Amino acid sequence: MADAPLVVENLSFQYRTRPEVAIKDISFELHQGEMLLIAGSSGCGKTTLARCINGLIPRSYRGKREGSIRLNGKEIADMPLADVAQVVGTLLQDPERQIVASNVFSEIAFGPENLGLPRDEIIRRIDQVLKRLKIEYLRDRETFNLSGGEKQKVALAGLLVMQPSILLLDEPLASLDPASAHEALEIFRGLADEGTTIILIEHRVEDAISARPDRLMYMEDGQVRYLGGIEKLPPEIDHHKVKLPASWVVERIRALGERMDYVPPAKLKTDSDPLVVFNHVNFGYNEEKQVLYDINFQINRGDLIAVLGPNGAGKSTLVKHAIGLLKPTAGQVLVEGKDTRKMSVAQVARVLGYVFQSPTHMLFAPTVKEELAFGPQNLEFPKAAIDKSVRESVETVNLNGLEEYPPLGLSFGQQKRTTIAAVLAMQSKIMVLDEPTAGQDYANYTRFMDAMCGATERKKSLLAENFAATMFITHDIDLAVTYANRVLIVSAGRLVADGRPEDVLKDFDLLERCRVRPSSLLRLNLEMFSQTGSFMPAEKLAQYLP
């Protein structure tokens, strides 16, 4: 009988720079064509396990490793990393870390070229994978100008073109719009059915289970708490830590008799002067690349705005106009009545604080504490105010104990929370977040979104009380359902919808055209709206059901 593609036995690992054990006594095996979904909160050990499987531990990450990992019967520690990479193909959480070439074709060709494959074979494989991922239109594009979701698709193409027998996918859906995520999951399922062994590490469990994984591994505190089927919610899984289908959460809440304090997002206010005005804004990076077309809207005090739309629609480009990083080619953007063409980025930053989609675009300081203090220092806050802002921002996004760690040495999710904390500490009037939940577990993003949007009766953070408005770009429609009082939908560079969530999100035809897939939570909220009068999380909806 042939050896299983992957066998893990009694695996433990402790990083040299950390006092605690990262993973402890993990054992499992995967067979050809099997798909394993790995879930768990940030810091539970998922990424460490992935680094062990793809050989980065103990080569790139030093520490104490015990136990064994065998690929097709061979101990991974005894294999050259180049040989491991030909068996295990890894897709990283942040595509910025994986893309090395300046254009898409060269990026996808990079791996096969390094294997010395004939040019005709390389071109055949590239054409095949572009077609499979439906991204032929990206073939000749520059990687620098791609959206975050498009970069994720290109990174996946560069992985699939290598034809590894094991796919290790670390948060592959993080930057993808809902329709693209669904298409990616169908591709993963098809690859598994064709014999590829797949390890899918994902926070978006509700989406991931649509790929019909053969088994689910749930991890907490570096250990496996559950390993088995996923026909229903296993009792070992904490619904506070992992985002699950709304019906599962409602069933669990009702069984436990839990209650949730919840305050719906504030009502829209338009009775004061707008904070930001987009007036017939057009923008193109060059004459051939028009991105925004005649954008008109305002940001008012009290707005909690979710911006939805497909990858490459122009969402990030639109927001970068609000913060002054980009200037319109036609029309104007006004921030507190001033044209951004006449304002420096620093002047705009006093009004709008922006969290980039990729945390590596923001982080540079030696420690988390210094990273968070940098903005307030440049805005000339008093030292006592800086210390207070740093302390409260650390608390708000759950970075306690990491203040002296180097930001670029943290996990992707921790880096993302560091960038959010850095903007929180600046106390701008408007918080603008680009994909705030990317790489975040449900517990962490619920914590900081509650603090900023006031979605519970618990006391809001003092930092959040400074914000006059919050705007977040997201592919997570449930974020809009739970926290927004206003939804914008951007598609093909145009603003195609602007209104209350209950008005915009009930138009399923519009959502489908804009590649926004309705979630189980949205459907349940629409069914119960006549009783509730507002959208709310599943934990609260459970209290309305008989």
Whether residue 459 has pLDDT greater than 50: no
Asked, for residue 135, whether it belongs to a domain, the answer is yes
The tens digit of pLDDT for each residue in 140-188 reads: 899 888 887 888 889 989 999 998 999 999 888 877 888 888 888 998 9
- The answer to whether residue 148 is domain-embedded is yes
Report which of residues 488 and 145 the model is more confident about. Answer: 488
Distance, in Å, from the CA atom of 538 to the CA atom of 230, rounded to the nearest integer, reads: 20
Number of folded domains that form the chain: 1
Mean pLDDT is lowest, of 71-85, 244-258, 417-431, 447-461, for 447-461
Token duo for residue 382: 């008093």
Lowest mean pLDDT among 261-265, 266-270, 347-351: 266-270
pTM above 0.85, yes or no: no
Instruction: Provide the domain limits for residue 74.
Output: 6-244
Asked if residue 301 lies in contact with residue 495, where contact means CB atoms within 8 angstroms, the answer is: no
Instruction: Judge whether 213 lies within some domain.
Output: yes
Pairing of strands 289-299, 276-286: antiparallel
Is 199:69 a contact under the CB 8 Å cutoff?
A: no
Residue 107 lies in a domain: yes
d(CA 172, CA 37): 12
Strand partners, 298: 277
What is the mean predicted confidence (pLDDT) over 305-325? 91
| Predicted confidence (pLDDT) at residue 440 exceeds the cutoff of 90 | no
Amino acid at 356: F
25: left (phi over 0), alpha (psi -120 to 50) or beta: left
Mean pLDDT of 73-95: 88
In a domain, 32, yes or no: yes
How confident is the model over 514-534, as a mean pLDDT? 93
Phi, psi angles (nearest 5°) of residue 340: -65, -20
Q: How far apart are CA 379 and CA 407, in angstroms?
A: 21
Residue 268 has pLDDT above 50, yes or no: yes
pLDDT at 328 > cutoff 90: yes
Locate the DSSP E strands across 72-114: 74-75, 88-91
pLDDT at residue number 270: 64
332: pLDDT strictly greater than 80: yes
Closest by Cα among 476, 382, 374 to 424: 374
Q: Is pLDDT at 470 greater than 50 in this prediction?
A: yes
Structural domain contains residue 220: yes
Model confidence at 130, in pLDDT bands (50, 70, 90)? very high
Give the pLDDT band of residue 1 (cuts 50, 70, 90).
Answer: very low
Task: Tell me, yes or no, whether 399 lies in a domain.
Answer: no
Pairing of strands 35-40, 197-201: parallel
Average pLDDT estimate for 493-510: 96
Both ends of the chain: CA-CA distance in Å?
54
Band (pLDDT 50/70/90 cuts) for residue 288 is confident
Question: With 0-12 CB in 10 A as exposed, 13-18 as middle and 19+ as buried, what is 2?
Answer: exposed
Q: Is the pLDDT of residue 458 over 50?
A: no
Decide if 423 contacts 354 (C-beta within 8 A).
Answer: yes
- The domain spanning residue 71 has which CATH number? 3.40.50.300
Half-sphere exposure of 253 (CA within 13 A, CB side): 22
Is 515 a domain residue?
Answer: no
The sign of the torsion formed by the CA atoms of 333, 336, 342, 345 equals negative
Which residues fall within 8 angstroms of residue 161, CB to CB, at 6 or more apart? Answer: 108, 109, 111, 112, 122, 125, 126, 128, 129
User: From CA 498, how far away is CA 521, in angstroms rounded?
Assistant: 21
**Which pLDDT score, from 0 to 100, does residue 378 have?**
86
**Are the C-beta atoms of residues 148 and 317 closer than 8 Å to each other?**
no
Q: Secondary structure of the chain: what % helix, strand, coil (to 5)?
A: 40, 25, 35
E-only strand ranges, 134-203:
166-170, 197-201
| Stretch (H or E) spanning 123 | helix 119-133
Report cis status (omega within 30 of 0) of the bond before 58: yes
